[in-house]
Amino acid sequence: MPNRKKPLVVVTRKLPDSIETRMRELFETRLNVEDKPMSQADLVAALKTAEVLVPTVTDRIDAALLSQAGPQLRLIAQFGNGVDNIDVATAIQRGITVTNTPGVLTEDTADMTMALILAVPRRLAEGLEVLEHGEWMGWTPTWMLGKRIHGKRLGIVGMGRIGQALARRAAAFGMQIHYHNRRRLPEKVEQALDATYWESLDQMLARMDIVSVNCPHTPATYHLLSARRLKLLKKEAFVVNTARGEIIDEVALTRMIEAGDLAGAGLDVFESEPAVNPRLIKLAKAGKVVLLPHMGSATIEGRIDMGDKVIVNIKAFMDGHKPPDRVLPSML
């Protein structure tokens, strides 16, 4: 019988109980039962001892941190889809494999994106606030009028799994689907989604009623919706972001909404999370934006599916196989 010692796996945050239990069965696992973010010193200590690190999107694993990793660290199995918090190139250069958990959050994130697309033009948060403050005086023909979304043009920035799932939902609401992507979709997929492709992001933005950001955050997409590009949008347009806060120039977006140069926004992510710009909070209180605390993927089912993928990736790697969700620099 093989007498293989179980690998030491260090998990940086609290995961669903069923996932932690399964990890304890399979690996020598150190858990973060208090769910407090690890300090830089804690992360360094983890990298010096762990064979496998299981970080989340809030843990910054940069080149400086990786330079302090011990030789035993062989795998970083991210609990999350995005890997913009990890210096993947440096990790691979040091012989460390990186994996993530793609695919399992698609439907949940698309649901939340569609919720924001409905919430912002139809003023849902404002209506709730009126009820909470006991200010509702009854129905009237001209009060709390929002914008219809049926027939409106939706511009999707990033037509991967989530973008396509959003397109299917939005089409069911009678929206016209437009998209910009690094690569054009196959004709068969494009026809199934009844989606119009724009090679020029600038040209698409100028014509849309609602713009949804659904691309990953990479060096190439940092401030993809820059101040210049935001100025291309119609004054009546809305912006929705459930991807990463860094993709939009948040200061420029805030300034434009304050000035009435944009109708509003629905944001689930922010540039300096967990800090939120006080000016955005003020706009939310004024009913101009709807803000959520990074809840796009927050379902019980989604989190368990993510954990299952982490376990499969670790198990495959430790058994000498290529993990199914390996991240390569060419993918970024």
Peptide bond preceding 2: is omega within 30 degrees of 0, i.e. cis?
A: no
Catalytic residue among 184, 273, 279, 326, which? Answer: 273
Q: How far apart are CA 82 and CA 103, in angstroms?
A: 11
Give the CB-side neighbour count of residue 319, counting CA atoms within 13 A: 11
Catalytic residue among 13, 217, 294, 303: 294
Residue 292, helix vs strand vs coil: coil
Q: How far is CA 110 from CA 160, 228, 317, in A?
A: 11, 27, 31
How does DSSP assign 60-96, residue by residue?
-B-HHHHTT--TT--EEE-BSS--TTB-HHHHHHTT-
Question: Residue 145: CB partners within 8 Å, gap ≥ 6?
Answer: none
Q: What are phi and psi of 133, to 5 degrees?
A: -95, 5
Residue with tokens 């670790």: 314
* Interior angle at CA 65, CA 63 and CA 70, nearest 5: 110
In the annotation, is 294 catalytic?
A: yes
**Quick one: how far is CA 307 from the chain centroid?**
17
Q: Are 252 and 226 in contact (CB under 8 A)?
A: yes
13, 244, 271, 303: the active-site residue: 244
- The string of DSSP codes covering 205-273 is HTT-SEEEE-SPP-TTTTTSB-HHHHTTS-TT-EEEE-S-GGGB-HHHHHHHHHTTSS-EEEES--TTT
Is residue 180 flagged as an active site residue? no
Name the token pair of 191: 């026809």
The span from the CA of 265 to the CA of 253, in Å, is 9
Helix or strand holding residue 197 (H, E): strand 195-197
d(CA 7, CA 3): 12
Residues designated catalytic: 244, 273, 294
